[in-house]
Chain A
């Protein structure tokens, strides 16, 4: 599915997510409006527990909102059936999680080809695609290793390759560098930079302002609500490492 640059990929209208009731009611996302353009890198920042992850879950169809609307690629997804949502996630959304969430019993290449196989492609085509992606992220030599034999940075790169395996409309990354050291963080950021340069739409939730600085646009959240928005130019500057202060 291709979307022309500057058209809206994501749109959230008065999005709400509430937990509990009565005095225990928690508004994790509170009347949130958002537009994400095709090819844009958006950073969602804010302190821990401000609702960043919940927002990403709602945008990616992992969770259902209490109110409001979510549109992805021109289709409203918040009212879809569970099955349709799963298919939408399969083809249109790639997720990258802080905890990697790789299948422990599958090798790196098998993890990457998992969404491709789910999409009904032949095992041979799936293996070819997974190998290409591992080559691109520099882990071709680790293809047959189990996640337990990979470093944190390598696992996250495998997770990113998996997120890209079905050429999704958007990649949603929830604290993708939260469990990584500086060097691994740089590897991941370089990958995101590459994705940005080829026009991949990217939404990154992070509480680290240095990571957020690499995006085209940064929005801040507090207590589930939108606080402010900043336009940036970091992600395309070509001086990523210096910008985020991870290299000298």
Chain B
């Protein structure tokens, strides 16, 4: 129930230069990786120098070199560990800013993090994921997709559920820009993801000698994909299909999307309204707007604009 954050005017020319940020954020080869072998080399030099000191005491002064090098390397290691921890903390704070919908601060923080070489690929990936959600929030969809593509290029290093989430987010930006053919293709890919997971579950049950539990298999599904399909149906005017999809996968979306299930309620309100079912539309609209502010919902889905003039918003008590 937070008030909407003011945002900068929608202007593609204001969008950040993501290509430059990709370049600047690449982790550099770490000299710190040489620390251990160099330290070991220094340690090996010490006995040799000590041996020579018995005959030439002045040589003992050379001990200062390996000992000094040892100290420098230890300091560098410590410093590197501290900077890694700082980076992790900064990325966590960025994620918190997004959760708290502090968008201007999140934009500033993500660009600041990506403007300099990052210490680890993992932190860079997390920052890019956060950055993509900020770009989407500001309606810089092309830039957001470019970031999604950059993340998906490293998909072998990314958790499969993250790959799926990014693909859903990417497809959503395609729908927002009315690129329906591309969006359909992405939806097909996501549907194949779900089918692969179901097949894997079936094989697992078979190999364990169990009877196939079809109910459990069918329960393997993606709320993100359901929401995507719902939005696609709204955009293409297939309101009957949208209503049917909503009613059949409402529980899935509620369980997986938490408060964001408001999106589904808002979209189905649009479908009910289009099908001249005002009572259901009013109920769905009330439910959507009791979970999320209408301004936020209409920002995400322009197709909802005008519904607030037809139906009552829930009264938020003082």
Please say whether chains A and B are actual partners in one complex. no
Name B residues whose Cβ lies closer than 8 Å to a Cβ of A.
none
Name A residues whose Cβ lies closer than 8 Å to a Cβ of B.
none
